[in-house]
Amino acid sequence: MPHLFAKTLFAGALALAPLTASAAELVMVEQVGCAYCEMWHKQIGPIYPKTSVSAVAPLRSVQLTEIDDAGFDIARPVVFTPTFLLVDDGQELARLEGYAGEDFFWPLVEKMVAEHAGSPLSDTASGSGS
């Protein structure tokens, strides 16, 4: 089912690309040796750039040790890796801490982006909750 979901997201990205002009980005805070970061890169990394979520909030990776120099303000310190920060106009809008697998990641990141980046993702994506 995750592959079907990714295909649905890819189709949604093609439909949404011309409609989105957001400056939001999804910042993945990671660190060397983080097993969950590596798992995310294997399971989600190749798919993410092809999704409607990426069309609204492209991904940028930042090392935990370099977060102070990343060019945006965070609401509170990052403790866990990976942590996904939705950033717009230099400010953290929302965050998702940890990675428990692709079945959990997609619905949570879609909700975060839809609620905080003004995206119609919730209308185009399907299959994440069922």
Q: What is the CATH number of the domain that holds 33?
A: 3.40.30.10
Q: Examine residue 116 and state whether it is found in any structural domain, yes or no.
A: yes
Domains contained in the chain, number: 1
Predicted TM-score (pTM) of this structure: 0.76
Other beta carbons less than 10 A from residue 109's beta carbon: 22
Sign for the CA dihedral angle at 57, 59, 64, 69 comes to: negative
Q: Domain range spanning residue 93?
A: 24-124
Which helix (H) or strand (E) segment holds residue 29: the answer is strand 25-30
Q: Examine residue 11 and state whether it is found in any structural domain, yes or no.
A: no
Q: Examine residue 15 and state whether it is found in any structural domain, yes or no.
A: no
> Whose CA is closest to 37, among 46, 28, 49?
28
Averaged confidence pLDDT in the chain: 81
Q: Examine residue 17 and state whether it is found in any structural domain, yes or no.
A: no
Helix, strand, coil percentages (3-state) for the chain, rounded to 5, are 45, 20, 35
> Whose CA is closest to 119, among 22, 51, 48?
22
The tokens describing 14, both together, are 């093609």
Q: Examine residue 47 and state whether it is found in any structural domain, yes or no.
A: yes
Assess whether pLDDT exceeds 70 at residue 3.
no
Q: Examine residue 6 and state whether it is found in any structural domain, yes or no.
A: no
Cα gap 20→13, rounded to integer Å = 10
Q: Examine residue 111 and state whether it is found in any structural domain, yes or no.
A: yes
Q: Examine residue 16 and state whether it is found in any structural domain, yes or no.
A: no
The predicted-structure confidence for 68-84, as pLDDT tens digits, reads as follows: 999 999 999 999 999 99
The predicted-structure confidence for 28-70, as pLDDT tens digits, reads as follows: 999 999 999 999 999 999 999 999 999 999 999 999 999 999 9
